[in-house]
Amino acid sequence: MSKVVIMTKKKVIIIGGGIAGLCAGSYLQINGYDTEIFEMHDKSGGCCTSWTRKGYTFDGCIHFLYGTGESNAFYPLWKELIDIQGMEIVDFKEYSQIVKDGTILTLFADTEKLKRELLRIAPEDSVIIEEFINAIQEFDKIDMPIDVAPETLGMVELLKLLKDMKPYLNLQKKWNISVRDFVNKLTNPFLKEVLPASFEGEEMSLIAMITSFSAMNLKSAGYPIGGSLEFARKIEERYISLGGKLHFKQNVTQIIIDKNSAKGIILENGDEHHADIIISAADGYNTIFEMLEGKYIDKKIANYYKSLNLFRSLVQVSLGINRTFDNTPHSYSLFIDEPIIFEDNNKIERLELMIYNFDPTLAPAGKTTVTVSIETHNDEYWSNLRNEDRERYRAEKKKIAEEVIDRLDKFFGNIKSKVEVIDVATPATYIRYTNNWKGRYMGWMLTPKGLVTRMKKTLPGLKNFYLISQWATVGGGVPVGIMSGRNITQVICKKDKRKFVTS
Ligand SMILES: Cc1cc2nc3c(=O)[nH]c(=O)nc-3n(C[C@H](O)[C@H](O)[C@H](O)COP(=O)(O)OP(=O)(O)OC[C@H]3O[C@@H](n4cnc5c(N)ncnc54)[C@H](O)[C@@H]3O)c2cc1C
């Protein structure tokens, strides 16, 4: 008589239903694991979200998404989980338009146009502009090998990977300088001033700027019509269709440990759930220092949370405006003549605008959704204000919105009387809805040091546990979610001696 062997599926609990959690869940389901996601919010998506007020949908995330076009390494990954090829994607003509003291600089997506535009503004900097444009064109030719988790490679395979990455590494060696160091090479005062501000700060690595321009030039970094939440929902649908289980309003407070091995989770309501493997796709600080009580760290991890640069947080003013914005760029970096004072004594001198005139699904016909982002390091101010004086918190949000509307009215005209809906999110909002440390919605900043920092997805001394959210990879972003979810599945499959599959 032949023996019947019943294979029980390994159970995996995933904390957090953002992009990383949903993607990890999907790949694990495909590979024969039994997964459950516990999400504290009432919907999935995490930072990749949008919200609707009186007929207007405000997008809180994607400005552009790597991998919407075939030439980007993320495209085949998206294709594995969602019908990216069937989605309606907008490829923008420009990264954004910078306006300061009447001078306009359009950062065109098309590299040749960008070159002409930069040379028009700063002919005296032609040598460095040419070099910068060449770098974008060199990046156009590079295919980044992101389909294999480096953690799964042996020495020989790692050496091969490094060889395949040589063209990229050579460019990285030359261009992994801060935006500050780059603009210091320029002589044109306008470029020197506006470029760092328009690229998330002068500490950023120039590589981020170059790769963004390259991906936009290749029509591989577009916007999915319908917005960020719709995009996240497509991954959620795939996860559910693969048999994954998603539990909402389930705040995880503790990870159960037995003999230095993760065994389960405890929810805020006291319920316990057990599994063979625990993955946190939630905030890194909350996971390491609260759910795990800081018991599984080393000097390196402690230093990340002490001294590695973070992206800023945001105050986002979202407006539903009863008018169209025809023939205007979709994105502006607008330096304002009359600064706005906020957070007691900080000055806002620049507004970053998204005009969603390219997505008719986000507003009723003839109307437009506009969002204005204001960067801040001052997350504590907003959290304290909200906790201690809710009325002043609301008044402060109202004041910023009014001043923003006033500056937009001065710039565009015909705004003030047309605003139908106002919504203001602050760092306190990002913390409340996503639990991200200090409200930093992209995690670790891609500085020159950050770019070469390789974080582990395991913690020292702890078995059967992985951390995969944007806090486990410097640079953040939606594509990091799919890459880390896929990579961790490869790692788990290798450990279990299974062949990793994608369908
Ligand atoms: C304004 C803005 C603009 C952006 N622009 C872009 C862009 O143009 N392109 C781009 O690629 N990216 C952009 N991003 C960044 C991108 O949204 C994030 O980097 C990415 O979505 C992070 O995904 P994640 O899954 O790693 O983390 P998160 O989205 O933070 O997901 C973590 C999930 O875990 C849940 N969670 C946390 N703690 C717990 C707990 N204790 N118990 C249960 N659940 C928990 C949270 O609710 C959340 O759903 C932008 C973000 C913002 C806010």
Residue 207: closest CA among 20, 470, 472, 474 = 474
Tokens of 14: 């995933």
Report how far residue 263's alpha carbon sits from residue 274's, in angstroms, rounded to the nearest whole number. 6
- Domain locations along the chain: 11-46+226-309+444-495, 106-218, 313-437
Q: Which amino acid is at 465?
A: F
Q: Which amino acid is at 339?
A: P
- Closest residue to atom 19 of ligand 1, CA basis: 477
pLDDT in tens, 184-210: 999 999 999 999 987 778 999 999 999
Pocket of ligand 1 (CB under 6 A): 15-21, 38-41, 46-48, 60-65, 251-252, 281-283, 286, 314, 434-436, 441-442, 469-470, 476-479, 481
pLDDT at 180: 95
**What number is the average pLDDT over the span 367-375?**
97
Class of 11-46+226-309+444-495 per CATH?
alpha beta
User: CB-hemisphere CA count at 13 Å for 275?
Assistant: 24
Report how far residue 163's alpha carbon sits from residue 167's, in angstroms, rounded to the nearest whole number. 8
Q: What spacing in Å lies between the alpha carbon of 443 and ligand 1's midpoint?
A: 9
Report how far residue 93's alpha carbon sits from residue 461's, in angstroms, rounded to the nearest whole number. 50
The mean of the pLDDT values for the chain is: 96
The per-residue DSSP string of 319-350 comes to: EEESS--TT--SEEEEEEEEEEEETTTEEEEE
- Closest residue to atom 15 of ligand 1, CA basis: 477
- Closest residue to atom 18 of ligand 1, CA basis: 477
Residue 459: closest CA among 255, 267, 275 = 255
Closest ligand 1 atom, CA of 468?
26
Q: What spacing in Å lies between the alpha carbon of 193 and ligand 1's midpoint?
A: 30
Secondary structure of residue 59 in the 3-state scheme = strand
Strand boundaries in 158-309, DSSP class E: 221-224, 245-247, 252-258, 261-267, 272-274, 277-280
- Closest residue to atom 48 of ligand 1, CA basis: 46
Please indicate, yes or no, whether the overall pTM of this predicted structure exceeds 0.95.
yes
Closest ligand 1 atom, CA of 22?
25
pLDDT at 199: 79
Distance in Å from the first CA to the final CA of the chain:
34
Q: What spacing in Å lies between the alpha carbon of 181 and ligand 1's midpoint?
A: 30
pLDDT in tens, 246-265: 999 999 999 999 999 999 99
pLDDT at 198: 78
pLDDT in tens, 94-132: 999 999 999 999 999 999 999 999 999 999 999 999 999
Cβ neighbours around 423 below 10 Å, total: 20
